């Protein structure tokens, strides 16, 4: 891992484990803060592509030490959405939003995949 002082980078992708495929069209918002007690600064967002990836997340500002990714899973599972072919009953999902907060280090890349189903999720630091 790099130990220089350049800005950290973040990427993500979403996989729908209930269907065994990437989750396309999931809205994702990105925010950062400079320490654990600071307020969140929204940076913008993206939407997952056909491969479940966000290729255009905003760059992190210098000094960011924590990042939050907010996934709008309710929009993905909504009836008529471009999400799963068979949404949950009545278009509901138990987790309408998944918010993942994690620490970042300058000069390192942080890949955070979300494994998603209508009634559960898992996340980990990828490569």
Kindly report the CATH number assigned to the domain that includes residue 86. 2.60.40.180
Tokens describing residue 29: 């918002």
Poorest-confidence range of 4-8, 28-32, 42-46?
4-8
Bridge partner list, 111: 11, 126
φ, ψ of residue 3 in degrees (nearest 5): -120, 15
Rounded to two decimals, what is the model's pTM? 0.87
Q: Is residue 42 included in any domain, yes or no?
A: yes
Q: Is residue 27 included in any domain, yes or no?
A: yes
Bridge partner list, 14: 114
Give the pLDDT band of residue 92 (cuts 50, 70, 90).
confident
Q: Is 50 exceeded by the pLDDT of residue 3?
A: no
**4 versus 73: which is more confidently predicted?**
73
Residue 21: its H or E element: strand 21-22
Q: Is residue 106 included in any domain, yes or no?
A: yes
Q: Is 60 exceeded by the pLDDT of residue 74?
A: yes
Q: Where are the alpha helices (DSSP H) in 54-119?
A: 73-77
Q: How many CB atoms lie within 10 A of CB 91?
A: 14
Residue carrying the six token digits 């913008």: 44
Per-residue pLDDT, 2: 43
Percent of the chain exceeding pLDDT 70 equals 86
Q: Is 80 exceeded by the pLDDT of residue 67?
A: yes
Domain holding 57, by residue range, is: 9-116
Mean pLDDT of the chain: 88
Number of separate domains in the chain: 1
φ, ψ of residue 2 in degrees (nearest 5): -75, 150
Percent of the chain exceeding pLDDT 90 equals 71
**Total number of residues shown for the chain:** 127
Tokens describing residue 76: 């993905």
Tokens describing residue 34: 């400079």
């Amino acid at each position: 891992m790099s130990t220089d002082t350049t800005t950290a980078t973040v990427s993500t992708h979403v996989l729908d484990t209930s269907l065994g495929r990437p989750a396309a069209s999931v809205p994702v918002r990105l925010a950062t803060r400079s320490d654990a007690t600071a307020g969140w600064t929204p940076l913008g967002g993206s939407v997952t592509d056909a491969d479940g990836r966000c290729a255009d997340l905003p760059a992190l500002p210098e000094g960011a030490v924590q990042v939050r990714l907010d996934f709008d899973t309710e929009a993905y599972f909504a009836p008529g959405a471009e999400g799963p072919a068979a949404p949950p009953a009545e278009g509901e999902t138990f987790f309408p939003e998944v918010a993942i907060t994690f620490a970042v280090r300058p000069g390192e890349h942080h890949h955070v995949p979300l494994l998603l189903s209508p009634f559960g999720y898992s996340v980990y630091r990828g490569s």
